[in-house]
Amino acid sequence: MDKDTAKDIKILAIESSCDETAAAVVRNGREVLSNIIYSQIALHTEYGGVVPEIASRKHIEKINKVIDSALKEAGTTLQDIDAIAVTYGPGLVGALLVGVSAAKAMAFATNKPLVGVHHIEGHISANYIENLNLEPPFMCLVVSGGHTHLVNVEDYGKYTILGKTRDDAAGEAFDKVARAIGLGYPGGPKIDRVAKEGNPDAIAFPRAKVENGEYDFSFSGLKSAVLNYLNQCEMKGEEIVVPDVAASFQKAVVDVLVDHSMDAVKRYGAKKFAIAGGVASNSSLRKAFEERCAKEKIEFYHPSPMYCTDNAAMIGVAGYYEFLAGTRHGYDLNAIPQLKLGER
């Protein structure tokens, strides 16, 4: 080993919290040496959403192969890895257990440190991969299929949640509305595509305000408003223009996400703002944030779409900073489906 690489820290990371079986090798928290994802989306499509039982069964089938590929593609071996990071929550319990068990077995067999990672910390950390100059503090909106969190990232591993959804997550709303207008699962990317052909001002859907929770979100009212609109069209025998419904719904979501976030940015005097999670790959959301942040002179960061949706590279990045901070888990590490951000 030469001098330059002597201090390198390589993390093998595993992610299996939902419907992606993923493994990655990340060097020094910022350089992705490999990022392997086996997506189960096709399997769940016919059910219109993720079926937990099917997800767990597929994870157990694929996990070893995915880990092998991640090590091979990184040109490394398990012996050469410094620590093993794994998502241990939040997520589907059966799905999480597969990744956690694999990580524990490898840590035990090789006597390497085991670092449990919070899935949302992973999503936030995805921003570090392509933005090498990005360091805390910054504010981050995490919008995925399971989460909608507005987070103050005070330091690596130090978070304050400013607001979250009271009901559906943003991605969940995308998925449910997509199903209702016949676009199928997963709805987010489909609505994103179809909305480009539609008029975002065609239908006035509500922008929900949440009482006693300035930065909290609520999307179930919006989802109901879309369903009511569709029912009424049917009852009146009016044609449903799918691109218009998609574009108007998307605009309602984007408006609320951007307005709430920018209010918080101003209130807390944040200089940098980032987005993360599957919905962060939405083209309309990115454009709206780009414009608003440019106007308010806030630096805006976002991961590439491949690092927005679930992947293990983001877990490797978060795992690296947790490793540096001394986080180590024992062989009693369990999956925690409702794990809170900042809990250890």
Residue 122 interacts with ligand KG4 (CB under 6 A): yes or no:
no
257: tokens are 């996400």
Residue in 278, 303, 316, 319 binding ligand KG4, rule: CB under 6 A? 278
Question: Cβ of 47: how many Cβ atoms within 10 Å?
Answer: 10
Tell me the CA end-to-end span of the chain in Å, nearest whole number.
34
Name which of 110, 103, 120, 11 is nearest 332 in CA terms.
103
CB of 123 to ligand KG4, least distance (A): 6
Q: Which stretch binds Zn ion (CB under 5 A): 38-46, 153-161, 177-185, 303-311?
A: 303-311
Binding pattern for the stretch 128-147 against Zn ion, x by CB under 5 A and - elsewhere? ----------------x---
Amino acid identity at 133: N
- DSSP secondary structure code for residue 146 in this structure: S
C-beta of 245 vs 312, nearer to Zn ion: 312
Q: Under the phi-then-psi rule, with left for phi > 0, alpha for psi from -120 to 50, and beta for the rest, what region is 212? A: left
Residue 310 interacts with Zn ion (CB under 5 A): yes or no:
yes
Asked if residue 15 lies in contact with residue 312, where contact means CB atoms within 8 angstroms, the answer is yes
Q: How far apart are CA 225 and CA 205, in angstroms?
A: 7
Asked if residue 16 lies in contact with residue 63, where contact means CB atoms within 8 angstroms, the answer is yes
C-beta of 139 vs 279, nearer to ligand KG4: 279
Q: Which stretch binds ligand KG4 (CB under 6 A): 34-42, 52-60, 144-152, 236-244?
A: 144-152
Residue in 101, 148, 261, 281 binding ligand KG4, rule: CB under 6 A? 281
108: tokens are 């035990």
Name the pairing type of β-strands 272-276 and 299-301.
parallel
CB of 276 to ligand KG4, least distance (A): 8
Beta-ladder partners of 329: 114
Q: How far apart are CA 20 and CA 95, in angstroms?
A: 9
CB of 277 to Zn ion, least distance (A): 6
Query: Of ligand KG4, Zn ion, none, which one does residue 187 interact with (CB within 5 to 8 Å by kind)?
Result: ligand KG4
Binding pattern for the stretch 228-267 against ligand KG4, x by CB under 6 A and - elsewhere? ----------------------------------------
Q: Where are the beta strands (DSSP E) in 80-146?
A: 83-89, 114-118, 138-143
Residue 217 interacts with ligand KG4 (CB under 6 A): yes or no:
no
C-beta of 21 vs 281, nearer to ligand KG4: 281
Given the rule CB under 6 A, which residues bind ligand KG4?
18, 144-146, 171, 174-175, 186-189, 192, 277-279, 281-282, 309-310
Given the rule CB under 5 A, which residues bind Zn ion?
144, 310
